[in-house]
Amino acid sequence: MSTSPAAIGIDLSANNVLRNLSAPALIEEAIRRDEGDLASNGAFVVATGKYTGRVPDRKRLEDTPEIHDNIWWGKVNQPITSETFEALERIAQDYLETRDEIFAFEGFVGADLKRRLGVTTITEHAWQSLFVRTLFIRPTPEELASFSSDWLILNCGSHSLTTDEQRRAGYDHPVCVAQSLSKKVAVIFGTEYGGEMKKSMFYAMNYDMPDVGVCPMHCSSNVDNDDDSNVTLFFGLSGTGKTTLSADPNTHLIGDDEHGWSDDGVFNFEGGCYAKAINLSEEGEPQIWDAIKFGSVLENVVIDEETHVPDYTDSSLTENTRATYPVEHIPGAQIPSVGKHPKNVVFLTADAFGVLPPIAKLTREQAMYYFINGYTSKLAGTEAGVTDPVPNFSPCFGGPFLARPPHVYADMLAERIDKHGADVWLLNTGWSGGPYGVGARFKLAYTRAMVNAIREGLLSNASFEQDPVFGLHVPTSVPNVPSEVLMPRTAWHDKNAYDTKAGELAAKFCENDQKYDMPDAVRAAGPQG
């Protein structure tokens, strides 16, 4: 069942609806409404107010009989009744109808024409419509003429639910991001952070795609410039390097964050990229630097009042500064955003303990262990209230976005890795030489060199040394990487402190893996705390 805008009383042909405007028109409207400003590089700069990251504790899912048994109920998926969701939907409709003008964007998620979904996003701000126009897939005029929505997003982010509205809905907070997988509608109140729209559709794909035989994945993807069969996936939560590492001049970018793996290969869910912009530099990330231009959105990036030059080092609003840009802003991007079956699958983690090696090749059992546990550190700003890195286990490297139980996605990924013979790697983009606050983050140049070695097959015949705590197989040498950084204990000045921290993290893994029903061989492949 899907709900079109007309079905809930929103007439897209009404005079107050500005529909499918071009990027220049949206930017002109946003400036006229004083929603932000233009940076010197042409990007539109906006501040999202109180919330500069997602608010996962305010996410709610309508519980209906047709989906109930498929859902991974708990902290991620907190239920509300159909009566509550319908009341929230009516409040959203009534609020949007009171606006002098609203914006509608109609586009797609899913670059695979056989498996894509149509989504209509209705917002009260021009910049929010520009945001989804940048990140979702823009239809051709012919596609737009026959467009049909599968999903509907109603964004009332600048409106916090009043006490009376909360009472009417039976919901006890002014902020709410609610979704109905049965009606295929998402409503947003009280937060203007653009990522809530993006992730609402990723959540939708995570539920819808398994039913059509597609494994949805929180990963980026690229393909070698000279070999279209050499596809690499990069799994990881926000801030671990998915966008940075997939934007590589030696490859064609398929996508930076969300993909599906079908019987035909991989495909991007989106039409744009959503890069962390904090400390962005032209030298370190030249492709992303150049991609941020007219048509892009900068969220919570501070610009000079006179020159309008962005200061990417300024974190006064948040550490989670963001840049959106269409995927075609990356030179040589793969258009359409589809690729063959991956040869390499990379799990990214930003280890705040500073004890995991920067690179390791995983056995099949280790691959399943580290995927189902999904260890990383939440980085500052990606969620409300996170100001320092926090050690975190997120199943499938995407726990906040999983509608179904983690084993559904793990089983689908394992089946595809086995079938297509992909190698699996663990890359730590976090800390070395000590934990957060003592050590330093791995140099991006070293991580890029490791990725190049993986893609070019330079580690196929490498010698490996097994980490005694985590059991990981670490190459003894990688081209253009100092050997002393490969085994993490060697990089610590205080070896006893390393042993203590490694033991702490190993124990956390063992504690966390008890949450999951996994084969003995898979559990044994993890650290033995």
Nearest to 197 by CA among 177, 181, 211: 177
The answer to whether residue 329 is catalytic is no
Q: Specify the pLDDT at position 21.
A: 97
Contact between residue 156 and residue 206 where contact means Cβ atoms under 8 Å apart: no
Q: Which domains, ranges and CATH numbers included, belong to the chain?
A: 6-34+55-192 (3.40.449.10), 215-272+337-524 (3.90.228.20), 274-329 (2.170.8.10)
Place of tokens 């996003």: 121
Tell me the per-residue pLDDT of 74-92, one tens digit each, with 9 for 90 and over.
999 999 999 999 999 999 9
396: its two tokens:
């499938």
The catalytically annotated residue of 133, 322, 343, 378 is 322
The answer to whether residue 158 is catalytic is no
Give helix 495-513 / helix 364-373 axis angle, nearest 10°: 80
The answer to whether residue 243 is catalytic is yes
The catalytically annotated residue of 257, 351, 467, 513 is 257
Q: 3-class DSSP state for residue 453?
A: helix
Q: Specify the pLDDT at position 387.
A: 62
161: left (phi over 0), alpha (psi -120 to 50) or beta: beta
The catalytically annotated residue of 120, 129, 149, 238 is 238
The answer to whether residue 115 is catalytic is no
Report the C-alpha gap between 218 and 260 in whole angstroms: 9
The answer to whether residue 54 is catalytic is yes
Contact between residue 359 and residue 427 where contact means Cβ atoms under 8 Å apart: yes
Which phi and psi angles does 31 have, rounded to 5°? -70, -40
The answer to whether residue 242 is catalytic is yes
Residues with Cβ within 8 Å of residue 354, at least 6 apart in sequence: 430, 431, 432, 433, 434, 435, 436, 438, 439, 488, 492, 501
Q: Specify the pLDDT at position 238.
A: 79
Report the C-alpha gap between 397 and 64 in whole angstroms: 27
The answer to whether residue 322 is catalytic is yes
Contact between residue 272 and residue 325 where contact means Cβ atoms under 8 Å apart: yes
Contact between residue 2 and residue 10 where contact means Cβ atoms under 8 Å apart: no
The catalytically annotated residue of 52, 129, 240, 243 is 243
The catalytically annotated residue of 3, 48, 52, 54 is 54
The catalytically annotated residue of 115, 159, 183, 242 is 242
Nearest to 521 by CA among 427, 414, 426, 416: 414
Burial 487-498 (b: 16+ CB within 10 A, else e): ebeebbeeeeeb
Q: Specify the pLDDT at position 14.
A: 86
Q: Specify the pLDDT at position 239.
A: 81
The catalytically annotated residue of 218, 252, 276, 501 is 218
Tell me the per-residue pLDDT of 170-180, one tens digit each, with 9 for 90 and over.
999 999 999 99
**CA distances to 58, 72, 405, 479 from 75, in Å:** 10, 9, 12, 43
DSSP per position, 150-216: SEEEEEETT-PPPHHHHHHHT---S-EEEEETTTTEEEEES---THHHHHHHHHHHHHHGGGGT-EE
The catalytically annotated residue of 59, 115, 125, 199 is 199
Residue ranges of the chain whose pLDDT lies below 70: 1-4, 379-389, 529
Residue 160 exposure: Cα atoms within 13 Å on the Cβ side: 10
The answer to whether residue 199 is catalytic is yes
Q: Specify the pLDDT at position 378.
A: 74
DSSP per position, 217-263: ESEEEEEETT-TT-EEEEE--TTSSHHHHH--TTEEEEESS-EEEET
Contact between residue 132 and residue 32 where contact means Cβ atoms under 8 Å apart: no
